[in-house]
Structure 1
Amino acid sequence: MGTGNHPQVRRLVISGYYGFRNSGDEAVLRSILLALEEQGTAQEIKIQPIVLSADPASTSSVYGVESVRRMHPADLWNAIKGSDGLISGGGSLLQDATGTKTIPYYTGVMKLAQLLGKPTFVYAQGIGPVNRRWMDPMIKGVMRKSAYVSVRDAESAALLARIGVQADKIDIVPDPVMGLPLPAGTLASAAGQADSQPPLVGVSLRHWRSDGADMARAAEALIALSNRMPVRLRFLPFHTPSDAQTSEQVMERLRGRLGNGSTAELAAPGDDPQQMLLEVSRCDALLGMRLHALIYAAGQMVPMLGLSYDPKIDHFLNRLGLKAIGSTEQLDPEAFAEAASLLLADKAGWQAKHGPAIDLLRQQSQEPAQQIVGYLRHTLSR
């Protein structure tokens, strides 16, 4: 074992949806890196990450880690061959809702590591939906050969069990972003009510329905809220440029229709997930369609209303004892306005009710890093 100032060094390849300017996935990466560093220090191991990225130069610059091209065969081979193991996750990597290439890619990377004799670790993934049964064996094969498997909700664990992964092999843990801290030297502040301005309502929307009916309903809901009370709507683009474009389209629907002197503005997109976390922390409430917008809000104790477009939204809300206010198929403007008004009127009550569940998720978010570092400490040092 390493001692004093000379801990053992372990190189870990990290595979995920990184380098695509998606704040949620970048937050996952930041959270994993921070957790591995913290657990490595605690267990006297220095973890050297190698991140598979769509934009290695940016990933290296932002996180200060080694990064290689995720789709380049030679880069993949060399990174994995020279490593001590591979982490797959987090995020929703093993699903076929976005196409038929996603599952073969991520399971293929895991299979390559296993063929090269490297231990593989599944880090707080959200599994599914998997609608094509011919993909089940790909997932089952790499999961059963992994040294550690963790998923972020019971539904993901149930899906793995149905396709043949041993239930006692699967840990259910929170999304790693539950443990993401604010940027160093910053503090959350109540940007609305604390300075006598109207309450600040964060809005995280994404393009989903091709006919735009879901965004039209979201606009009507926000207008209904503004007719009940003055609010400042701050749109938060989690995936650029698409979310910024969607937000601008919804803001155009709001133009001239907001009541009580309410306003709407667009936050400047940024590549640093902790800066977006800071944006969310300053909200008095949040309407979230992006999963990680809701996770950011939970982590910062910001009352939230979820708009569901995917089961993962419902799964996360369920862990907090919440249900979505609507979906991409239906959203009642007056029901939303009523619920949002109640949250803004009693933020402390919401925090008291849901705080214990949120605190537990924060504590449990370190579990995968602890298990992975412990495995490397005990197994690779023999």
Structure 2
Amino acid sequence: MRALLSGYYGKGNGGDEALLATLLQMLPSHVTPVVLSGNPEETRDRYNVETHNRMAALSVLQALRSCDAFIWGGGSLIQDVTSTISPFYYGGLMTVAQKLGLKTVAWAQGIGPLLRPQTRALAQYSFGYCTKVSVRDHASASLLSDWQIPCILAPDPVWALESKPVPGLWDLPAPRVAVTLRSHPQLTETRLANLTRALVDFQKATQAFILLLPFQKSEDLSIAEAIQPYLKDVSQILCLEDPQLLKGVFRGVEMAIGMRLHSLIMAAAEGCRCFALSYDPKVNRLMEELAIPGWDLASLPDDPNLISLTWMEHYANGEPLSPEQIQSLIDRALMHRELLSAALS
């Protein structure tokens, strides 16, 4: 059986690459993956899979015709906040796959926000005709329930991604704290300046070595480069392309301060304390489900001193998830694997 995998792959986003790596890890052995990618050569070389350019219409149609199944491969693909085109692209592919008679799987989806009636209608139609559906949060499950579409609810699959140790990480000074910030309209110059000031004070108080961890170079690297001069000799920018290595970083980290959803999932999965800076409802959902402390960026305190003191308190007294909690999340995340086995049998 051949399955076409569609997601935000080949765009240099660590979270989406982690979803692809996990999906490939979870596919039944009799299934040959074919991946739509923004960088087909890089994806082919990294994962040793057949790839096609996700924006080359003829190539995508040929790939669909050559496959027996189509999979939306994880993440917030069906939402219209960051992109109005995105839900029509993914929804359109799903509809074509369904018209061609392929088995169709919506795998590990985080649905919404859906602000426009057109995108909501397309989402309801696309999910309604899927062979199987799994979602990663209660809000998505609730929406599908309202639409009377059956689904499996399980934690994000990246909980179950196998991590790899990062060469040289243990040579860096300890203790270590990882920071993952991304560009966003809510991360204004003033807020970034306040976070940087707070990070400097936090580092002095804790003597922690700061790992600035861009999850997507195009969005995150410039922010890391803006912060690092204020943390000379006590920080390092660490750019990692392999999602298993990216997750492995958090094995050697005491605390993670993160905007990106998958930075927080990876950190929590590796037994790290987490502090969230939310820019998106999907981050708030994770904060609620795991009781992760943090702020919405829109309500970030104006006082850098208050920010750093809050971080220090969590660094000193905060608790990571217990090994039992982590194992439970991993075990439940494997329900996404079981769904693939059932759908693609």
Using the size of structure 2 for normalisation, the TM-score is: 0.92
* Residues 13-50 of structure 1: per-residue CA shift (max 9 Å, x gap): 100000101111101100110011xxx2xxxx411000
Residue in 1 that maps onto 2:241:
271
Of the three residues 363, 370, 381, the one matched with 2:331 is 363
Counterparts of 1:158 and 1:179, CA distance in 2: 24
Q: Is the 8 A contact 1:201 1:231 kept in 2?
A: yes
Instruction: List alignment gaps of at least 5 residues for structure 1.
Output: 1-9, 257-261, 378-382
1:53 aligns with 2:44: no
Residue type at the aligned position of 1:27: A
Residue type at the aligned position of 1:157: A
Q: How does 1:1-382 map to 2 (within 5 A)?
A: 10-36=1-27, 40=28, 45-162=29-146, 164=147, 166=148, 169-183=150-164, 186=165, 191=170, 197-209=173-185, 211-252=188-229, 254=230, 263-267=234-238, 269-331=239-301, 333-345=304-316, 350-351=319-320, 354-377=322-345
Counterparts of 1:58 and 1:300, CA distance in 2: 27
Counterparts of 1:365 and 1:189, CA distance in 2: 30
Q: Is the 8 A contact 2:80 2:115 kept in 1?
A: yes
3-state SS of 2:339 partner: helix
Counterparts of 1:94 and 1:158, CA distance in 2: 15
Give 1:324 deviation, angstroms: 2.1
Cα 1:189–1:177, aligned 2, differ >3 Å: closer, same or farther?
Answer: farther
3-state SS of 1:97 partner: coil
Q: Which has the larger radius of gyration?
A: 1
Give 1:276 deviation, angstroms: 1.4
Counterparts of 1:140 and 1:296, CA distance in 2: 30
Counterparts of 2:297 and 2:15, CA distance in 1: 20
Q: Is the 8 A contact 2:166 2:245 kept in 1?
A: no
Counterparts of 1:18 and 1:122, CA distance in 2: 16
Counterparts of 2:205 and 2:298, CA distance in 1: 23
Counterparts of 1:272 and 1:341, CA distance in 2: 31
Counterparts of 2:267 and 2:167, CA distance in 1: 11
Residue type at the aligned position of 2:16: D
Counterparts of 2:341 and 2:168, CA distance in 1: 35
Say how many residue pairs are matched.
343
Q: Is the 8 A contact 1:128 1:159 kept in 2?
A: no
3-state SS of 1:146 partner: coil
* Residues 337-381 of structure 1: per-residue CA shift (max 9 Å, x gap): 34433444357xx23x5443322211111212212222322xxxx
Instruction: List alignment gaps of at least 5 residues for structure 2.
Output: none
Give 1:326 deviation, angstroms: 4.6
* Residues 288-332 of structure 1: per-residue CA shift (max 9 Å, x gap): 111111011011111111111111111112221223245244145
Give 1:107 deviation, angstroms: 0.4
Give 1:190 deviation, angstroms: 9.1
Q: Which deviates more, 199-208 or 272-281?
A: 272-281
Q: Is the 8 A contact 1:308 1:314 kept in 2?
A: yes
* Residues 229-265 of structure 1: per-residue CA shift (max 9 Å, x gap): 212111001001331111111224x257xxxxx7222
